[in-house]
Amino acid sequence: MAFRHPSRALRTLHHLSAQPPYRPISISRTPRIPQVSLKTPQRFPSMRSSHDSSKSSVDPTEVSHFNALASSWWDPYGPSRLLHLMNPLRHTFISRCLETTPPLSSSLPKKLRYLDIGCGGGIFAESAARLSRTESVTAIDPTPEVLKVAEGHKRRDPVLVQPGKLTYLNKGIEQLEQPKSEAEQYDIVTLFEVLEHVNAPAPFLEQILPHVKPGGWLVLSTIARTWTSWAVTNVLAEDVLGIVPKGTHEWRKYVNEGELREWFGKKGGWGSNGGMRTMGVVYVPGFGWKEVSGGEGWGNYFWGVRRDG
């Protein structure tokens, strides 16, 4: 897989014909016809398929991919710039989930425990750890090189090196020990720009859910699988503007907002009393990331779901 400046900020569809056999993405059981004609034969099996075992939720090619990104992760003008610019919006969205959702019977503590899954170089994990309302952040990523970058960067801030404040673990979610009590669960579990890199989203999410405390939130951001996201990222961002490094994303892995709602709705125990939140965002060159009402229907979006309790 050849790529110049890999980045997770936007996604590209590339070398479809050279891809290994097709990987499932649809989160619903109903096969769908994609809006973009692809070169390879299409098939949309359930995300519960046994295609990938749950032990390897993340594709090894993705891991090597982000290794190559490591050295430039914290360069504000490097290939990860779009991710850096997006980071404040993540907090905006989490604050909105916490502060403007009708409450449940159980309320969250004053100080919050975070679990950041797929933390990369630590852009979100560091910022979450600096917040005054944060008790601790545990951040995990299966890619060893970016974890080294994250550890190295953490040492540059005396606040972050305080014992127990920010802990990095070189693990996938499946290697993280399942919580035995509520005290080991997390108030906020985050999954930013990860879902679109996962081979089988449903088993992957199943691994995550036990870590969320009742009343706590699973917050993620990803990209809708639509013809606009394909056209914008593949044609515009990669070929025309050249701002998106090749090889970061695969459009077929994208998950739509409606699919998440449906999946969690069927699951039960999640999202009651208004506990499913969405925020569509779009990157406007020269202005940065902007919230766009309804943007989840055609591009990048944030999504949060609260565990009932």
> Which residues define the annotated binding site for S-adenosyl-L-methionine?
90, 118, 141, 192
Token reading at 139: 């951040």
Among the listed ranges 43-51, 58-66, 82-90, 168-176, the one in contact with another protein (CB under 8 A) is 82-90
Token reading at 179: 């919580």
- Binding string, 108-127, against another protein, x = CB under 8 A? ------------------xx
Tell the smallest beta-carbon distance from residue 77 to another protein (Å). Answer: 8
User: 3-class SS at 63?
Assistant: helix
Judged by CB under 8 A, the number of residues near another protein is: 21
Rule CB under 8 A: say whether 290 interacts with another protein. no
The phi-psi region of residue 120 (left if phi > 0; otherwise alpha if psi is between -120 and 50; otherwise beta) is left
Q: Which of residues 89-108 bind another protein (CB under 8 A)?
A: 91-92
Binding residues for Mg(2+): 193, 196-197
Which of 11, 14, 65, 84 touches another protein (CB under 8 A)? 84
Rule CB under 8 A: say whether 284 interacts with another protein. no
DSSP 99-152: HSSPP-SS---SSEEEEEES-TTTHHHHHHHHSTTEEEEEEE-S-HHHHHHHHH
Binding residues: 90, 118, 141, 192-193, 196-197
CA dist 204 and 54 (Å) reads 7
Which C-beta is closer to another protein: that of 93 or that of 254?
Answer: 93
Token reading at 107: 């309320």
Which C-beta is closer to another protein: that of 78 or that of 309?
Answer: 78
Rule CB under 8 A: say whether 132 interacts with another protein. yes
CA dist 105 and 108 (Å) reads 10
Token reading at 212: 């969320």
CB count in 10 Å sphere of residue 49: 14
Which C-beta is closer to another protein: that of 4 or that of 91?
Answer: 91
Token reading at 45: 């099996």
Order of strands, sheet of 288-291, starting from the edge strand that comes earlier in the sequence: 166-169, 134-140, 112-117, 186-192, 212-223, 300-306, 276-284, 288-291
Q: Which of residues 156-185 bind another protein (CB under 8 A)?
A: 156-158, 161
Which C-beta is closer to another protein: that of 8 or that of 14?
Answer: 8
- Binding string, 47-76, against another protein, x = CB under 8 A? -----------------------------x
Listed in order, strand segments (DSSP E) in the chain are 112-117, 134-140, 166-169, 186-192, 212-223, 276-284, 288-291, 300-306
Tell the smallest beta-carbon distance from residue 285 to another protein (Å). Answer: 14
CA dist 301 and 79 (Å) reads 20
User: 3-class SS at 38?
Assistant: coil
Which C-beta is closer to another protein: that of 288 or that of 297?
Answer: 288
Which C-beta is closer to another protein: that of 209 or that of 243?
Answer: 243
Which of 19, 56, 87, 170 touches another protein (CB under 8 A)? 87
Q: What residues make contact with another protein under the rule CB under 8 A?
A: 76, 84-85, 87-88, 91-92, 126-132, 134, 152, 155-158, 161
